[in-house]
Amino acid sequence: MLLLLAAGFFYRYSDVMGVQAFLISAVVLLLSYLLLRWRRTLNYWKNAGIPCEKPHILMGSLAGVQSKRSFCDIWEDYYKKFRGTGPFAGFYWFQKPAAFVLEPSLAKLILIRDFNKFTDRGFYHNTEDDPLSGHLFMLDGQKWKSMRNKLSSTFTSGKMKYMFPTVVKVGHEFAEVFGQTLEKDNIVEVKDLLARFTTDVIGTCAFGIECSSLKDPNAEFRVMGRKSVTDQRHGALGIAFINSFPNLARRLHMKITKEEVEHFFLRIVRETVSFREQNNIRRNDFMDQLIDLKNSPLTKSESGESVNLTIEQMAAQAFVFFGAGFETSSTTMGFALYELAQHQDIQDRVRKECNEVFGKSGEFSYENMKDLIYLDQVLSETLRLYTVLPILNRECLEDYVVPDNPKYVIKKGMPVLIPCGAMHRDEKLYPNPDVFNPDNFLPERVKERDSVEWLPFGDGPRNCIGMRFGQMQARIGLALLIKDFRFSICKETTIPMKYSKETFLISSESGIYLKVERV
């Protein structure tokens, strides 16, 4: 009897050991397969014979980003290292092989001529779990095309003209607050003041709300606007995972928007829409456009789905208009003042032009804004040297062989990176590229230059939809400041400029400090 019990115990034990051995073997085989596939992926460009840096095992070609290097440093260093080697270099967008464009001719094919093969940006978005990620900048395919068509009428010259007096009104308040700041100290950190100005402009034009961030630096709109740009939901490893495995990240319900930012913008949009509809208020602004799209007669797409905007979709579009509108314009204006402070002759010429334009009619109008030709050159040159979005992202929708370069194939699903900020500092495109020179944008030089050699707003069908608005508020803000104030460098001014390592957009590391005096 004891022998039978012992035999049964030994049989069951052996059976368990067999299962365990099988599971261990299966795990080892799976890990080996994943390791081989991982290794093959990280050798993709080497095996294809395309120049490429050896990638980091987790971060790909982005090793050290946000700790040792800024995104801008990575794009510029990679471009300088590989330009001239071919139409593109191999790159690793975290775990994904990507094409890093090196020639303007290829950029033109991707952005314009063969746009239908590169319509998507390929950024992670999860509209079900993270509604604010479903905005125009992130959307792909038919959803992007449909939303772009709906919103295009928002940024016509007629709409700009209507919003112009509102921007000028905020601009005068801005100049007043700027003057009050000088009473305390003539060394001014201009970056934050400019961001408060553009926050109030966007808040008024997009939401019809007096944000009051000029008067109160801690106003809720300003705080949330700053967090929407600087605060990230995930660290470097989380971002790498989301970008490397976007479909899995969606199945895991991963979000990219901070919870408090999401709640704030959803609440603001709901309250604004409710108030306007209940009180029959119209302002002919961005929010009215979104409300019209929400309330238009029920329409269907070709697939039979409703294309009327939901509150969540409205909030997403308002969110990106707010975030992109205040951050990009304020950053550009800050860098413009930074360069003008170092080039007093250029600053004096801008001031003279502003006084002449203002002096014609005694006021700043939409019509005479167009006469600020030299100021426009200054802004264009600033955007060349300090391209706020220094990389343009696209995703290849079908295998693409670069014309006349059969060896260079961009595979379906592959990310494409166009380093426009680095291209803007290429001496082959701009003589003395690191020198601030508004004459680079004399009308005759602009006509001679291919459009893809200046890409701060992108190019082609997917260029920046808010370009006109951004340029308008930057012109107004700078004109009103330069007319009344003189800017110069001081011991607190960072020369050369040091960029923040934390943000995808270009930004100064520690603010822009300038000496300011009344003219």
- pTM score, whole prediction: 0.88
In whole angstroms, give the CA distance from residue 391 to residue 439.
Answer: 24
Residues shown for the chain: 519
The answer to whether residue 13 is domain-embedded is yes
The range of the structural domain enclosing residue 14 comes to 2-42
Please report the sign of the dihedral spanned by the C-alpha atoms of residue 201, residue 205, residue 211, residue 215: positive
Instruction: Give the pLDDT score at 241.
Output: 85
Q: Are residues 206 and 328 in the same domain?
A: yes
Q: pLDDT of the chain along its 519 residues, tens only?
A: 444 444 454 445 455 556 666 567 666 655 555 555 556 678 999 999 999 999 988 888 998 888 888 899 999 999 999 999 999 999 999 888 999 999 999 999 999 999 999 999 988 898 899 999 999 999 999 989 988 988 888 788 888 888 899 899 999 999 999 999 998 999 999 999 999 999 999 888 888 888 888 888 888 888 887 787 777 788 777 887 887 788 888 999 999 888 898 999 999 999 999 999 999 988 778 888 889 888 876 555 555 555 678 999 999 998 888 877 788 999 999 999 999 999 999 999 999 999 999 886 667 889 889 899 999 999 999 999 999 999 999 999 999 999 999 999 999 999 999 999 999 999 999 999 999 999 999 999 999 999 999 999 999 999 999 999 999 999 999 999 999 999 999 999 999 999 998 888 899 998 999 999 999
Instruction: Give the pLDDT score at 361.
Output: 64
Instruction: Give the pLDDT score at 2.
Output: 44
Instruction: Give the pLDDT score at 5.
Output: 43
Q: Are residues 467 and 341 in the same domain?
A: yes
The answer to whether residue 475 is domain-embedded is yes
- Both tokens of 182, joined, read 């000088």
Q: Are residues 84 and 10 in the same domain?
A: no
Residue 398 near residue 117 (C-beta atoms within 8 A): yes
Q: Please give the order of strands across the beta sheet that includes 96-101.
A: 88-93, 96-101, 415-418, 392-395
In whole angstroms, give the CA distance from residue 251 to residue 140.
Answer: 18
Q: Are residues 123 and 15 in the same domain?
A: no
Q: Are residues 75 and 11 in the same domain?
A: no
Instruction: Give the pLDDT score at 301.
Output: 52
The answer to whether residue 256 is domain-embedded is yes
Instruction: Give the pLDDT score at 496.
Output: 94
Q: Are residues 8 and 126 in the same domain?
A: no
Q: Are residues 25 and 156 in the same domain?
A: no
Q: Annotation-wise, does 211 bind a ligand?
A: no
Residue 335 near residue 421 (C-beta atoms within 8 A): no
3-34 burial, b at 16+ Cβ within 10 Å, e below that, comes to eeeeeeeeeeeeeeeeeeeeeeeeeeeeeeee
Please report the sign of the dihedral spanned by the C-alpha atoms of residue 230, residue 234, residue 237, residue 241: negative
Q: Are residues 81 and 16 in the same domain?
A: no
The CATH number assigned to the domain holding 122 equals: 1.10.630.10
3-state secondary structure (DSSP) of residue 513: strand
Based on the structure, what is the number of domains in the chain?
Answer: 2
In whole angstroms, give the CA distance from residue 394 to residue 380.
Answer: 24
The answer to whether residue 65 is domain-embedded is no
Instruction: Give the pLDDT score at 27.
Output: 65
Tell me the backbone φ, ψ of residue 306, rounded to 5 degrees: -70, 135
Q: Give the distance, in angstroms, between the CA of residue 460 and the centroid of all CA atoms in the same chain.
A: 17
3-state secondary structure (DSSP) of residue 422: helix
In whole angstroms, give the CA distance from residue 95 to residue 42.
Answer: 7
Q: Are residues 342 and 415 in the same domain?
A: yes
Instruction: Give the pLDDT score at 481.
Output: 96
Q: Are residues 259 and 396 in the same domain?
A: yes
What crossing angle do the helices spanning 190-202 and 157-182 adopt, rounded to 10°?
A: 140
Q: Are residues 510 and 391 in the same domain?
A: yes
Q: Are residues 317 and 424 in the same domain?
A: yes
Please report the sign of the dihedral spanned by the C-alpha atoms of residue 299, residue 304, residue 307, residue 310: positive
Beta pairing class for 409-410 and 88-93: unpaired
